[in-house]
Copies of this chain bind each other. A is one copy, B any other.
Amino acid sequence: MAYRETEKMRQRKAQARQRIIDCTYECVANGGFRSARITRIAGLAGVATGTIYRHFESREDLFAEIFRTATQREVDKVAEALNTDGDAAVRLEAALRQFAERAMRGPMMAWALIAEPVDPKLEEERLVYRRAYAELFEKAIRDGIEEGCIPDQDARQSSTCLVGAIAESLVGPLSPTLAGQITIADIDKNKLVDSIIRFCMQGLTGTRR
């Protein structure tokens, strides 16, 4: 017995894996999943294409991992925003704002996660992702109903509507066809986010503001 897996090797492998992940992330953040080629990723990461397959079962698997990682980051941010002070309605509003504003800050990745046409396996991940958001919102709505600051309603259904309203409102502005050509001024972004949120909060509370 001559070769034995050692700590040094374990680390080196882990590093390569991380490099692959990082470069994939970069490719996706740059042109979405569809246009991210394995050969390009391998090139960027400084490994051969075959090496990718020593770390990931398949392209789809690699993408699924990226999807989950990127998603979790976003979901965590929204969860964080839901954990601040104030009544449930206020916290929800902060969370919705966080969701929308982060999407506009990284439009291509947001588009890839929310709206890019992807293969079935990734589409499944996306449903999980949307569900995760919806569940966060749902919980907050229930809290609000208990607190009395949000009227009684089907929390699950309403949370789904929230996700849909925001996603749809962002698809246009995020769409990569436009993203390169049109630059949305910050002031417009704010107005956009404000009116989305107004609609959503009214939908929830049935109260004009």
**Cβ of A165 to closest chain B Cβ, rounded Å:** 4
Q: In the assembly, what is the distance between CA of A161 and CA of B100, in Å?
A: 13
The CA of A82 and the CA of B86, in the complex, are separated in Å by 41
Are B117 and A199 interface neighbours, CB within 8 A?
no
Within 118-141 of A, Cβ neighbours of B (below 8 Å) are at 118-120, 123-124, 127, 130
Determine whether A200 belongs to the interface, using a CB cutoff of 8 Å to chain B. Answer: yes
Task: Give which listed residue, B117, B118, B130, B158, contacts A119 with CB less than 8 A.
Answer: B117
Judge whether A43 is part of the interface by a CB distance below 8 angstroms.
no
Main secondary structure of the interface of A (DSSP, over half): helix
User: Could you say which residues of chain B place their CB within 8 Å of the CB of A164?
Assistant: 164-169, 171
Q: What total of chain A residues lie within 8 Å of the partner, measured CB to CB? A: 42
Q: Is the CB of A161 within 8 A of B206?
A: no
On chain B, the residues within 8 Å of A202 by CB distance are: 202-206
- Is A84 interfacial (CB-CB < 8 Å)? no
Q: Which residues on A are within 8 Å of B, measured CB to CB? A: 117-120, 123-124, 127, 130, 151, 153-154, 157-158, 160-169, 171-172, 175, 177, 191-192, 195-196, 198-200, 202-209
